[in-house]
Amino acid sequence: MKKTTTKLADGRELIYYDTDPHVLRDAVDRRSLEPPTSLAEVRRDPATGDWVTVAAHRQGRTYHPPADQCPLCPSRPGRPSEIPAADYDVVVFENRFPSLAADAAARVPERTDPLRAGGPGVGRCEVVCFTADHDSSFAALTPAKARLVLDAWTDRTAELSAAPGVRQVYCFENRGAEIGVTLSHPHGQIYGFPFVTARTARMVEAAAGHRARTGGNLFEDLLAAERADPVRVVLAGEHWTAFVPFAARWPYEVHLYPNRRVPDLTALDEAERAEFPGLYLELLRRFDRLFTGAGDNGGAAPTPYIAAWHQAPALQGEELALHLELFTIRRTVGKLKFLAGTESGMDAFINDVSPEAAAQRLREVAS
């Protein structure tokens, strides 16, 4: 992997990741851009302890532009974009409309009242462009290109984990208009949070409780149990296992774990990195066949999904295990799973598909 770091016209960082070690990345962003200004702040809910980010400055962000004005495509004569180069493999750059930013500290005051605790939303938000092809998808990448994305995620995890104030690094992809994606170009995001997210905090608490009760690691024991009784296992390799969790919240939800527990992407070894692309690409392609049959996608709209990497946070994540959660909000053909009263109001999920049936369906649509 070759890494080339440069700056955009407004001072934001942009990084090219290339498979060709000889490629030259010297294109200059000649747009006239004002430096971005962040008013992000974080506030702690005194009733739950959860952190909420307030980023009112993001209301003006780019929203469903025409394909010929996509800001994530390579630049063309007369059509400059966020990527100055005429082509690229994988690109990461600072979000122009970030929810969290380093400069928030200069604009947002600290709040010390126990019932009004909060402060500046210091952190980092990055965009990851998986391919220069606007009409492609992650599932359409070659294994080599998928490996390059994995290497980019890993590099960013290492760098952001060491950044001042960052407590947790989160790599994810939102795919599909039904999910709320405002740019259709194949891309994901990376957040460097200044706090441990609520879901991760619950995992930390659950892992501590499991250790106290059994003396074992929660995630090692969970994976061992799924592999021993593989009714919910969807795909298994030498180094990774994908399964539908016993208490899946979403109609089709798959968790992908390395068989060896590691805290984050930086701790994966070469064998684990080499096997990941093939398994993950197969999972994504199965998701696109879920509602059409065992052949190709049959002209149906691609399955909307969220792919979320769970990594151990700084200081308190020694019990956690790296894993990826992949899920769709589509529950059947033409119907979505909406988060209504119980889910949105009480965080109490009701699943319309049994995890065992979901796993069986995901096995049926194998390549």
Instruction: Provide CB contacts within 8 A for 49, sequence distance 6+.
Output: 198, 201
Q: Classify residue 115 as exposed, middle or buried by CB count within 10 Å of its CB (0-12, 13-18, 19+).
A: exposed
Residue 187 is a catalytic residue: yes
| N- to C-terminal Cα separation, the chain | 29
**DSSP bridge pairs for 242:** 235, 256
- From 57, 185, 187, 239, the catalytic residue: 187
In the DSSP assignment, the letter for residue 35 is P
Tell me which residue of 190, 52, 39 sits closest to 127, measured CA to CA.
190
- Residue corresponding to tokens 């009701």: 350
Query: What SS3 class is residue 171?
Result: strand
Tell me which residue of 154, 36, 27, 39 sits closest to 95, measured CA to CA.
36
In the DSSP assignment, the letter for residue 126 is E
Tell me which residue of 163, 185, 177, 138 sits closest to 324, measured CA to CA.
138
Catalytic annotation, residues: 187
